[in-house]
Amino acid sequence: MSTSRIAAASELGVLATLRRGVQISPQIVDGLWLTLALAVLAAAGRVVVPVAVQRTIDDGILAGGGPDAGRVALLTGLAAGAVVVAGLCTAVVNVRLFRRTEAGLAALRVQAFRHVHDLSTLAQGTERRGALVSRVTSDVDTISLFVQWGGIQLLVSTLQVLVATALMAVYSWQLTLVVWACFVPLFLVLRRAQGTVNRAYAAVRQAVGAMLGAISEAVVGAETVRAYGVAARTGRRVDAAVEHTRATQARAQLLVSSVFSSGVLVANLVLAVVVVVGTLLGVGGGLTAGQVVAFLFLVQLFTGPVQQATEILNELQNAVAGWRRVLAVLETPLDVADADDATASPRGPAAVTLRGVRYAYPDGPEVLHGVDLELPARRKVAVVGRTGSGKTTVAKLVARLMDPTEGEVLLDGVDLRRLTLASLRERVVLVPQEGFLFDGTVEQNVAYGLRPDPPSDPAETRARVTGAVDALGLTDWVAGLPRGLDTPVGQRGEALSAGERQLVAIARAYLAAPDLLVLDEATSAVDPAAEVRIARALDSLTSGRSTITIAHRLSTAEASDLVVVVDDGRVVEVGGHAELAAAGGVYARMHASWVAQTR
């Protein structure tokens, strides 16, 4: 098991994460000061009602000359206006925050997505695909959700508490201190409890991950599950994981509810304290009845924020954790990237040279032990060898999917590491054994090879694709498909057989028109007649181009200009087919056994 090259999460602290995040998505802080100013106005709106209550009681109901309805009507009218204005401010603050953060997060998604593609296939391979997807989807969603719920709450609540405190202090600094003395310990206790709550939530996330893993076996392994009749066992595994998730969720809920309701208890006990202490202060002459009652209303402005503080901080932590996971992707260094002084490689016949090339996979033993090779331009080269001999590694190095640990790979005499990747990809295309297809039609998948982009004119695309299909002798095969070129290939091309997927991949690579085509067992699953047909077509159509073919089937070697035999990480023989077949070495033995199997 190789460890992931992409860190699980960035190691930045909370503030550093936010700073780095904002650096990458500067849209988030666009016009932040105006938003904050509007938020202060919005928060000020929250104390309008308590003030109105105080004035109504002191100057209205308890007014010297009996209740004064007219005065209160005017007062409440004004207050209503203020509340509406504050509401408008809240709406504007929300919209501004959503617009800016969503713009920033969209940019973050795209950057992270691009970075994953820019990583070497090796680095990509060390991380589960699903985990990579979640870095650009659910992890970013966590941040988005936090902004839409918790972020707004956090901003408004903080301001609300500040404004309420200021008003309370105007009425009575003593009672204000008493209220703070109740809420501050509550807040501290709740923060402590948060650690336990967080662990419970982490356990839930882990349980959900394991459960989805179990369910995915029932989905991705559907064919296997049926072929072996193991539905019952798979079902038991899924049920156990589902039940574990439920139990973990229930435990987390118990904890969270206990913490939350103790917050409710304290917040309402504060009412008792305010009535007792406030009245005592009032009796001493420091407070009016209206002010004591206003305090009861103002305390409510504390309750919400303090109760929700733990949940909001929790959400904040989730958001920061999500942000860290996305940032970790962007922090992963690109191991195969353009050098500063990289130059573009000009198109033309491609000659490849390997000099003293050694290669070891990360945390693995060396698989190539010093390979020297001269592969002249415009030649068909076949690389053969047993499973595990290192021949696929040679193909990957030539296509620069990774760099050698020692030695150099040269294209037309220039080290690949000194060429721009864009020009290299244009000239060298690798077709792997398992050709990946996008969920679309056969035509769309073949046309994917057209670079830089398939033509916008559908008729032209159709013409190019048909041309490739005809040139490769695949016309009959396409005609036999349910809907011809418009046949949908299904997800990952699974509606086609493995051999058919390879045919599509070959046609796609053909349209990409590289100078050097590297075929890594790209026809291993097609029938012999089709393989011969394709080989012949590639022969006649790639004249002027170079091909390197990694092959199990030695028919390819027979048809090549040069055969390279790799054994145990070393090149043991190089020469023409006839020459090597007659030489009585490794190749001669391989070929004899191949002939015996095919005749």
Partner 1 sequence: MGAGRDGRAGDDRTTLSGSRLRRSATLVWRGMRSEPRLYVLAVGASAVFGAATVAVSRAVGWATDAVVVPAIAGDPDARSRIWVAGLVLAAVALTLALGVAGRRIWAGYGFAAIQAHHRRGLSRQYLRLPVSWHRAHPAGRLLSAASADVEAATGVFNPLPFALGVVVMIGVAAGMLLAVDVWLAVAALLVVPAAIAANVVFQRHMTPAVTRAQQLRAEVADVAHESFEGALLVTSLGTADREERRFAERTDALRAANVRVGTVRAVFDPVIELLPSLGTLAVLGVGTWRASTGAVDAGDVVTAAYLLTVMAVPVRAFGWVLGELPRALVGYDRIAGILDAPSTLSPGSQALPRAAGGLAVRLEGVGVDVPAAGTAATLLDGVDLDVAPGTTVAVVGSTGAGKTTLVSLLARLSDPTRGRVLLDDADVRDLAAGEVPAQVALVTQQTFVFEDTVRANVTLADPGDDGAPDDAAVWEALRVARVDDVVRALPGGLDAPLGERGANLSGGQRQRLAVARALVRRPRLLVLDDATSAVDPRVEAEILGSLASARGGRGDGDDVPGTTVVMVAYRMSSVALADVVVHLEGGRVADVGPHADLLARDAGYRALATAYEQETARRARELADEAAAGERLPGDEQLEGTP
Residues in 256-285 at the binding interface with partner 1, rule: CB under 8 A: 256-258, 260-262, 264-265, 268-269, 271-273, 275-276, 278-280, 282-283
CB of 69 or CB of 188, closer to partner 1:
69
Rounded Cα gap, residues 443 and 508, in angstroms? 9
Spatial strand order of the sheet with 406-411 comes to 366-375, 352-360, 406-411, 414-415
Instruction: Report yes or no: 112 and 328 within 8 Å, Cβ to Cβ.
Output: no
Is residue 222 involved in binding partner 1 (CB under 8 A)? yes
Alpha helical stretches, state H, 332-435: 391-398, 421-427
CB of 370 or CB of 473, closer to partner 1:
473
For residue 186, give the amino acid letter: L
CB of 306 or CB of 503, closer to partner 1:
503
Positions 414 through 453 that interact with partner 1 (CB under 8 A): 421-422, 424-426, 429-436, 438-439, 448-449, 451-453
Closest by alpha carbon to 371, among 387, 385, 353?
353
Q: How far is the CB of 16 from partner 1 (least distance, A)?
A: 26
Interface with partner 1: number of residues (CB under 8 A): 198
Instruction: Report yes or no: 150 and 363 within 8 Å, Cβ to Cβ.
Output: no
Q: How far is the CB of 560 from partner 1 (least distance, A)?
A: 9
Q: E-assigned strands of 455-541?
A: 516-520
Q: How far is the CB of 466 from partner 1 (least distance, A)?
A: 18
Is residue 192 involved in binding partner 1 (CB under 8 A)? no
Among the candidate windows 310-318, 455-463, 551-559, 567-575, which touches partner 1 by CB under 8 A?
Answer: 551-559
Instruction: Report yes or no: 311 and 200 within 8 Å, Cβ to Cβ.
Output: no
Closest by alpha carbon to 515, among 400, 393, 349, 352?
349
Is residue 7 involved in binding partner 1 (CB under 8 A)? no
Rounded Cα gap, residues 288 and 178, in angstroms? 17
CB of 98 or CB of 180, closer to partner 1:
98
Q: How far is the CB of 13 from partner 1 (least distance, A)?
A: 28
CB of 12 or CB of 390, closer to partner 1:
390
Say whether 348 sits in a helix, a strand or coil. coil
In this structure, the chain runs to a length of 599
Is residue 387 involved in binding partner 1 (CB under 8 A)? yes
Is residue 1 involved in binding partner 1 (CB under 8 A)? yes
Is residue 242 involved in binding partner 1 (CB under 8 A)? yes
CB of 14 or CB of 339, closer to partner 1:
339
Task: For residue 143, give every residue at least 6 positions away whose Cβ sits within 8 Å of its Cβ, in sequence order, or none.
Answer: 21, 101, 105, 319, 322, 323, 326
CB of 16 or CB of 592, closer to partner 1:
592
> What are residue 383's DSSP bridge partners?
550, 564
Position among 23, 206, 253, 343 found at the interface with partner 1 (CB under 8 A): 253
Positions 98 through 157 that interact with partner 1 (CB under 8 A): 98-99, 102-103, 105-106, 109-110, 113-114, 116-118, 120-121, 124, 128-130, 132-133, 136-137, 141, 144, 148
Instruction: Report yes or no: 344 and 426 within 8 Å, Cβ to Cβ.
Output: no
Dihedral angle, C-alpha 583, 589, 592, 593, nearest 10 °: -170
Q: How far is the CB of 542 from partner 1 (least distance, A)?
A: 9
For residue 286, give the amino acid letter: G
Q: How far is the CB of 328 from partner 1 (least distance, A)?
A: 16
Site string for partner 1, 477-506 (x = CB under 8 A): x--xxxx--xxx-xxx-xxxxxxx--x---
Q: How far is the CB of 504 from partner 1 (least distance, A)?
A: 11
CB of 12 or CB of 367, closer to partner 1:
367
Rounded Cα gap, residues 113 and 586, in angstroms? 46
Site string for partner 1, 529-548 (x = CB under 8 A): xxxx--xx--xx--xx----
Is residue 40 involved in binding partner 1 (CB under 8 A)? no
CB of 12 or CB of 90, closer to partner 1:
90
Positions 313 through 342 that interact with partner 1 (CB under 8 A): none
Q: How far is the CB of 191 from partner 1 (least distance, A)?
A: 19
Is residue 366 involved in binding partner 1 (CB under 8 A)? no
CB of 370 or CB of 414, closer to partner 1:
414
For residue 30, give the amino acid letter: D
Q: Please, what's the b/e burial string for 205-242 (b: 16 or more CB within 10 A of its CB; e: otherwise)? A: eebbeebeebeebeeeeeeebeeeeeeeebeebbeebe
Task: Determine whether 59 is exposed, middle or buried from the number of CB atoms within 10 Å of its CB (0-12, 13-18, 19+).
Answer: middle
Rounded Cα gap, residues 144 and 133, in angstroms? 16
> What are residue 359's DSSP bridge partners?
368
Residue with tokens 């002191």: 58
Positions 48 through 77 that interact with partner 1 (CB under 8 A): 48-49, 52-53, 56-57, 60-62, 66-69, 72-73, 75-76
Q: How far is the CB of 564 from partner 1 (least distance, A)?
A: 16
Is residue 199 involved in binding partner 1 (CB under 8 A)? no
Among the candidate windows 15-23, 97-105, 309-317, 355-363, which touches partner 1 by CB under 8 A?
Answer: 97-105
